[in-house]
Amino acid sequence: MSMKTPLIGFAIGLAVLAGGAVVAGSHVDKNVEAAVKARKAHMQLYAYNLGILGAMAKEEVPYDAASASAAAGNLAALARMNEGSYWPQGSDSLSMEGTRALPDIWDNIDDVLVKAKALTDASAAMEAAAGTGLDGLKGAMGAVGGACGACHKAYRQPDS
Amino acid sequence: MRCGMVRLLGLIILGTAGVFWLITRPVSLPDDALAGLTGRTDQGERVFLAAGCGSCHMAPDATGAARLVLAGGQRFPSDFGTFVAPNISPHPEAGIGAWSDPEIANAVLRGVSPEGAHYFPAFPYTAYQRMEMQDMADLIAYLRTLPESDAPSAPHEVGFPFSVRRLVGGWKWLFAAPDWVLQDPADAEIARGRYLVEALAHCGECHTPRGPLGELARDAWLTGAPVPGKDRGRVPGIDPASLDWSEGDIVEYLTSGFTPEFDTAGGHMVEVIANFAQLPESDRRAVAAYLKALP
């Protein structure tokens, strides 16, 4: 239940914003720009917390159960957040500068939600594993990376 | 006098035709190349993953167990046309189930079909030719264990003159050098990394720029290249001058797909990582050691 609600909210948010964008016209308005900023900030928070876990996985810093758990908890919380308002219609890479979000996102909402669910699951598994030891943390890393990568592969414009 | 000229001209034409015939003919492995070797399926899986066979030969966007159904159908655009990966599942008609072991080995290591025609080098036999014969035998044994698919292979969409397969023989003669790019690896780990990068994983096919005829610029080895068939995007350089990641960073990337900034791999690299994540960590470390050992 708690898993499903944000996803439904995400879908409703997209639908509502799609309607709004049609009314607002094709120019990029402030709300759209703010939404793009917000999702980039969200991604940055994923990266920051993954950095703490990754440094331990790479054995660049000693394993610490408390900070691993804290970072993994943040990661899982981020994945559970409702991102619906981050993705308004017209905020794709063809409609505006400064984003690599492909228009395919809005044409494949069902698949996007499946991929979002994969990240929720993988980060929940990381949350459960991170405090149990370095091997647990390392073992959970691959699924998180796979979930991030699956969406990026399908829906992000390659680096130019 | 005129008669002599005609004869000379005839000789030149005949000679040219002969040289053309010689240069462009398909060259197969010796008949006994696999003699005495027994394929081991467990070892073959490791070769299969490192060589990335499934990444190109599974159906487009296959997930889960379907990744092992090598039905073909993925499209690979290039400057010379679009290549479509064929069915290489063990199905006796649609796939390669009826092929003999030497026929499969000739395809993979020499780019020659059972009918004696050249394959286009979109199939990376120019890298695979460096594969050890035991690995080839193991890979064949493993391929025969995979599920069958009856999906027919689609023809390549390649226009004249590139569609003339005989010309591929000339391309091979000019460009398919079997020697290693990195000479004299300093230790066994770097040698293993060289084998993975230059032979099995065929990293150079995407990460090395190409010349006008699609040949790899070996003097710019792994320095990055445009994405084939796309106007934008670049396959990044991974030689020491282009990539400042630590060996640990490279190992992590090949394990989870995370870059040092905790961004993720994109494009076809996602498939490569899905394979490499299943290899022993020693293999990922060997790739990192090799990349660091490049000049």
Query: HEC profile for A71-106?
Result: HHHHHHHHHHCCCHHHCCCCCCCCCCCCCCECCHHH
B63 compared with B94, residue with greater pLDDT:
B94
Q: What CA–CA distance (Å, rounded) separates B15 from B213?
A: 25
189-248 of B, contacting A, C-beta below 8 A: 227, 230, 232-234, 236, 248
Is A4-155 CATH 1.10.287.990?
A: no
Measure CB to CB from residue A54 to each of B258, B266, B267 and give the nearest one.
B258
As given in the structure block, the two tokens for residue A11 are 């879908």
Backbone phi, psi, residue B118, to 5°: -75, 140
Q: For residue B132, give Cα distances in angstroms to B37, B82, B84, B110, B135.
A: 11, 30, 27, 13, 5
The alpha-carbon gap from B39 to the nearest alpha carbon of chain A, in Å, equals 30
Contacting residues of B for A100, CB less than 8 Å apart: none
Which one of B255, B262, B277 has the shortest CB-CB distance to A51? Answer: B262
What are the structural domains, with CATH classification, of chain B? Answer: 41-175 (no CATH), 188-293 (1.10.760)
Q: Which residue of B has its CA nearest to A140?
A: B256
A158 closest CB neighbour out of B233, B257, B262: B233
B234 chain-A contacts, CB cut-off 8 A: 158-160
pLDDT value of position A2? 46
Which residues on chain A are in Cβ contact (under 8 Å) with B274?
Answer: 146
For residue B153, the distance in angstroms to the closest alpha carbon of chain A comes to 25
Closest chain A C-alpha to B193 CA, distance in angstroms: 19
pLDDT for the residue A3: 46
> From the DSSP assignment, how many helices (H) and strands (E) are in chain B?
12, 5
> What is the residue type of B259?
T
Q: Which residue does chain B place closest to A60, by CA atoms?
A: B248
Angle, CA of B50, B230 and B209, to the nearest 5°: 55
Which residue in B has a C-alpha nearest to residue A53's C-alpha? Answer: B262
The whole-angstrom distance between B272's CA and the closest CA on chain A is 12
Domain ranges of chain A: 4-155
pLDDT value at residue A23: 47
Task: Give the residue-averaged pLDDT of B237-261.
Answer: 95
Question: How far off is chain B from A52, nearest CA to CA, in Å?
Answer: 10
Q: Best mutation site among B262, B272, B284 for testing chain A: the one with the most A CBs within 10 Å? A: B262
Average pLDDT over residues B161-165: 89
Q: Report the mean per-residue pLDDT for chain A.
A: 87
Strands B234-235, B225-226: pairing kind? antiparallel
Kindly tell me the burial class for residue B83, based on how many C-beta atoms sit within 10 Å of its own C-beta (0-12, 13-18, 19 or more). buried
Are B248 and A150 inside 8 Å of each other by CB? no
ipTM of the complex: 0.75
pLDDT digits (tens, 9 = 90+) for A30-89: 999 999 999 999 999 999 999 999 999 999 999 999 999 999 999 999 999 999 999 999
Interface of A with B in 51-90 (CB under 8 A): 51, 54, 57-60
- Quick check: B263 contacting A, CB < 8 Å? yes
Of B234, B264, B274, the CB nearest to A160: B234
Could you read off the pLDDT of B8-36 as tens digits, one per residue? 888 888 888 888 888 888 889 998 999 99
pLDDT tens digits, one per residue of B44-58 = 999 999 999 999 999
Distance of residue A122 Cα from the nearest chain B Cα, in angstroms: 12
